[in-house]
Chains A and B, each alone.
Chain A
Amino acid sequence: MSVTVFTPEFKRRADQICANYPVKRAAALPVMRLIQEEYGAISGKAELEIADYFQIPPADVRELMTFYTLFYSKPKGQCHIQICRTLSCALLGAGELIRYMEEKLGIKAGETTKDGQFSLDKAECLGACEIAPMAQINKEYVGPLTKEKLGKILKQYYLGVRD
Chain B
Amino acid sequence: MEKLISRFFKIPNASSVSVYLEEGGYESARRALKEMKPEQIEAEVKNSNLRGLGGAGFSCGMKWSFVPRNTGKPIYLVVNADEGEPGTFKDKYILTYVPHLLIEGMILTAYAVGIHKAFIYIRGEYEIPYLKLKEAVDEAYGKGFLGENIFGTSFHLDIVIHRGAGAYICGEETGLLESLEGKKGFPRLKPPFPAVVGLFGCPTVINNVETLSYIPFIIKRGSEWFAKLGTEKNGGTRLFSVSGHVEKPGVYELPMGITLREIIYEYAGGIIENRKLKAVVPGGLSAAILTADELDVKMDFDSLKAVGSMGGSGGIIVMDETTSMVEALRVTMQFFAHESCGQCSPCREGTGWIYRILNRIVDGKGRPNDIDNLLDIGKYLGGTTICALADGAQMAFLSYLKKFRSEFETVIPKQNKTYANA
Contact = CB atoms under 8 A, between A and B. Distances in A.
Contacts of A21: 160
Interface in B101-124: 123-124
Contacts of A26: 180-182, 200
Contacts of B251: 130
For A69, A88, A136, A139, the residue with the greatest tally of chain B CB atoms inside 10 Å of its CB is A88
B88 interface: yes
For A21, A92, A123, A129, the residue with the greatest tally of chain B CB atoms inside 10 Å of its CB is A129
B184 A29 contact: no
Nearest to A136: B125
Contact of A129 (B166, B317, B323, B335): B317
A87 B87 contact: yes
A124 B339 CA distance: 9
Contacts of B86: 86-88, 124-125, 129
Contacts of B168: 124-125
Interface stretch (B25-33, B237-245, B380-388): B237-245
A22 interface: yes
Contacts of B147: none
Contact of A70 (B91, B125, B182): B125
B163 A33 contact: yes
Given A20-B160, A27-B182, A130-B241, A91 B165 contact: no
Contacts of A91: 244-245, 317, 319, 323, 328
A127 B317 contact: no
Interface in A37-87: 54, 60, 63-64, 67-71, 85-87
Interface string A98-131: 0000000000000000000000000111111111
Nearest to A86: B86
Given A25-B182, A87-B87, A128-B92, A67 B167 contact: yes
A30 B162 contact: yes
Given A23-B181, A29-B179, A54-B182, A124 B163 contact: no
A145 interface: no
B83 A87 contact: no
Contacts of B92: 127-128
Contact of B89 (A22, A23, A64, A129): A129
Interface string B276-293: 000001000100000000
A132 B249 contact: yes
Nearest to A25: B182
Contact of B87 (A25, A54, A88): A88
Nearest to A128: B89
Interface string B123-162: 1111110000000000000000000000000000000101
Nearest to B165: A68
Interface string B317-340: 101000100011001101100110
A34 to B, nearest CB: 10
A68 B182 CA distance: 11
Given A23-B200, A54-B182, A32 B249 contact: no
B181 A69 contact: no
A125 B84 contact: yes
Given A91-B328, A139-B127, A124 B244 contact: no
Nearest to B162: A30
Contacts of A25: 181-183
Nearest to B251: A130
A90 B86 CA distance: 11
B164 interface: yes
For A64, A68, A85, the residue with the greatest tally of chain B CB atoms inside 10 Å of its CB is A68
B61 interface: no
Given A129-B317, A139-B127, A140-B127, A87 B335 contact: yes
Contacts of A23: 181-182, 200
Contacts of A71: 165-166
B182 A129 contact: no
A27 B251 CA distance: 33
B250 interface: yes
Nearest to B74: A22
A114 B168 CA distance: 31
Contacts of B243: 88, 129-130, 132
A125 B164 contact: no
A28 interface: yes
Contact of B182 (A28, A90, A140): A28
In the A-B complex, the 3 residue pairs with the smallest Cβ-Cβ separation, listed nearest first, are A129-B243, A28-B182, A68-B165
20 contacts: A25-B183, A29-B165, A29-B182, A33-B163, A60-B183, A69-B165, A70-B124, A87-B87, A88-B249, A90-B328, A91-B244, A92-B244, A124-B86, A125-B87, A127-B91, A127-B92, A128-B89, A129-B241, A139-B127, A141-B127
Interface of B: 74, 83-89, 91-92, 123-128, 160, 162-168, 179-185, 200, 241-245, 249-251, 281, 285, 315, 317, 319, 323, 327-328, 331-332, 334-335, 338-339, 341
Given A70-B125, A124-B338, 15 more contacts: A23-B181, A28-B183, A29-B164, A29-B182, A67-B184, A67-B185, A70-B165, A85-B331, A87-B335, A91-B319, A125-B85, A125-B87, A127-B89, A127-B92, A141-B127
